Structure 1
Amino acid sequence: MAGNGGYKGKCFCGAVELETRGEPAAMGYCHCSSCREWSAAPVNAFSLWPMDAVSIVKGSDDLASIQKSENSIRRWCRACGGHLMTEHPRWGLTDVYAAVIPALAFRPMLHVNYQETVLPMKDGLPKQRDFPQEFGGTGDLIAE
């Protein structure tokens, strides 16, 4: 935990460190092809924070980014290649990957972009076809 009631996180090698303040606005799983390709995994566990609740506290010069779409700026460590977060300026949120914050008790609330899943997960959580309506999606749910 960070001294501000939030959490500390770091990249794989520790060159870049971040801190969050407060608690995440949401946590869940993303199944979109962009997250899968970026993470080299069948699903991405996310924790969404208000953008001003996430700070780089060490290694900002080692932080690199790529913006493939208008919705997302993905950030990683230049030294080790460790993925840290995705900023979503359009929504005012930053996704700090759940695995980057070891002290965070991951409590997923939903699945997003489930229509693209390659790893079906029967866990009783809501499965959004794409995104909730407030984030520009249909809000449609898919049955488990």
Structure 2
Amino acid sequence: MNSAIYSGSCFCGAVQLTVSGEPVAMGYCHCESCRRWSAGPVNAFTLWDPDSVQITQGADNIGTYNKTENSYRKWCKTCGGHILTEHPGMGLIDVYAAVIPGFPYQPGIHVHYQETKLRIKDGLPKQKDVPKEMGGLGESLAE
């Protein structure tokens, strides 16, 4: 088990966080919600157990928006920088890979690939939605 601690922050640095240990999963999400939230064609995620994520500064400066009960998206009230998404149904927190620049991000999967706007041929598994163990169909798609 990796006991390393990695630091991250919002765009302006008002909100600081750490992640420790190993994430449950890393990959890319292609769903419309993540694309629109990130203002990009794909979102790089790192999923963590809640005990592995600590807000170390600026907790009172975090705004929350939840379009659905599945995702509580968090951002800095000062700069608007996106920080993380809590997924209560999965019991996990997605700390956006770009927020923790020193973390050795190694994606292992693409989720919601049926919604992609950017085909990525990287040899990683492409899931129609999410793996069965995360409540999805577990159906694979071609690159």
TM-score band, normalised by shorter chain: over 0.9
Q: Give me the whole-angstrom Cα distance separating, in 2, the residues matched to 1:55 and 1:90.
A: 20
Q: Give me the whole-angstrom Cα distance separating, in 2, the residues matched to 1:141 and 1:83.
A: 29
Q: Give me the whole-angstrom Cα distance separating, in 2, the residues matched to 1:126 and 1:28.
A: 10
Q: Give me the whole-angstrom Cα distance separating, in 2, the residues matched to 1:124 and 1:20.
A: 27
Q: Which residue of 1 aligns with 2:20?
A: 21
Q: Give me the whole-angstrom Cα distance separating, in 1, the residues matched to 2:41 and 2:109.
A: 16
Q: Give me the whole-angstrom Cα distance separating, in 1, the residues matched to 2:14 and 2:98.
A: 16
Structure 2 counterparts to residues 4-19 of structure 1, below 5 A: 5-19=4-18
Q: Which residue of 1 aligns with 2:35?
A: 36
Check conservation: 1:6, 1:23, Cα contact below 8 A.
Answer: no
Q: Which residue of 2 aligns with 1:109?
A: 108
Are 1:80 and 2:96 an aligned pair? no
1:2-47 Cα deviation digits (max 9, x unpaired): xx62211000000000011211111000000000000000000000
Superposition TM-score, scaled by structure 1 size: 0.96
Q: Which residue of 2 aligns with 1:96?
A: 95
Q: Give me the whole-angstrom Cα distance separating, in 2, the residues matched to 1:70 and 1:81.
A: 22
Aligned with 2:89: secondary structure?
coil
Q: Give me the whole-angstrom Cα distance separating, in 2, the residues matched to 1:123 and 1:100.
A: 23
Moved over 2 A (4+): none
Aligned with 1:7: secondary structure?
strand
Deviation at 1:135, TM superposition (A): 1.4
Kindly provide the amino acid, as one letter, of the partner of residue 142 in structure 1: L
Deviation at 1:90, TM superposition (A): 1.0
Aligned with 2:126: secondary structure?
coil
Aligned with 1:86: secondary structure?
strand
Gapped runs of 5+ residues in structure 1? Answer: none
Alignment root-mean-square deviation, CA: 0.8
Alignment length, in residue pairs?
141
Q: Give me the whole-angstrom Cα distance separating, in 1, the residues matched to 2:100 and 2:8.
A: 5
Superposition TM-score, scaled by structure 2 size: 0.96
1:97-122 Cα deviation digits (max 9, x unpaired): 00000111110000000000000000
Check conservation: 1:86, 1:96, Cα contact below 8 A.
Answer: yes
